[in-house]
Amino acid sequence: MFIKNGHGYYDSNGQQHSGRGQYLALFSWNDYKAADEIRMACETCRRLKSARDAATGSPEWVERCAGYEMPDRCDTHTGVHSGIEEPRYPNGNSRLWATVRVCALSQLGHFMMGTIRIGGKSITVSGSIGNDGLPLDVQEVPANWRDKLVQVPQDVASAYWTDNGHNDIGSARDPLRQWARETFK
């Protein structure tokens, strides 16, 4: 969602575009991607995964394991749930983090698509807040840059989680925009 600028226009072919403006991108925690990150940082987990990938389907592997599938992580990382202590607000909703980046959107089929840069990485965004009305995953942001994301206050996040329209942010637009304009001056 644009919090400033980002005026829209149509080109000579009828395709919709927006000018460059300050784009609010929301992020939420993804337990599966977090566990994968933790596992991939472990040398033992990486070796098991790569050994499984290399051996899958080979007759020697099937005979040696008698059809037993090799684990894709070590005993230490079995059951790893997430890398942060509490990815939810006290009311049970998933926490939201935000950043504002300069972005321009262009129509691609039925979608408005663009790219934001965070910590030297390009992240593709679509629609109102990054993922067609849904938050992007925190794990898309480089690990050394995640602490720069700003946590959205619980009351503003509750408005988002309560009334989130299909492919848009519903009535949460105004509280989110107001909070973002005050926070990202």
At 21-42, the pLDDT tens digits run 899 999 988 776 776 777 677 7
Which residue type is seen at 79? G
Give the whole-number percent of the chain exceeding pLDDT 90.
Answer: 24
Which of 14-23, 116-125, 128-137, 176-185 shows the lowest mean pLDDT across its residues?
A: 128-137
pLDDT for residue 82:
43
Q: What whole-number distance in Å separates Cα of residue 159 and Cα of residue 175?
A: 8
pLDDT at 181: 93
How far apart are the C-alpha atoms of 94 and 80, rounded to whole Å?
Answer: 18
Question: Confidence band (pLDDT; 50, 70, 90) for 116?
Answer: very high
The mean of the pLDDT values for the chain is 77
How far is the C-alpha of 4 from the C-alpha of 1, rounded, in Å? 9
Give, in degrees to the nearest 5, the angle at Cα 27 between 133 and 159.
Answer: 60
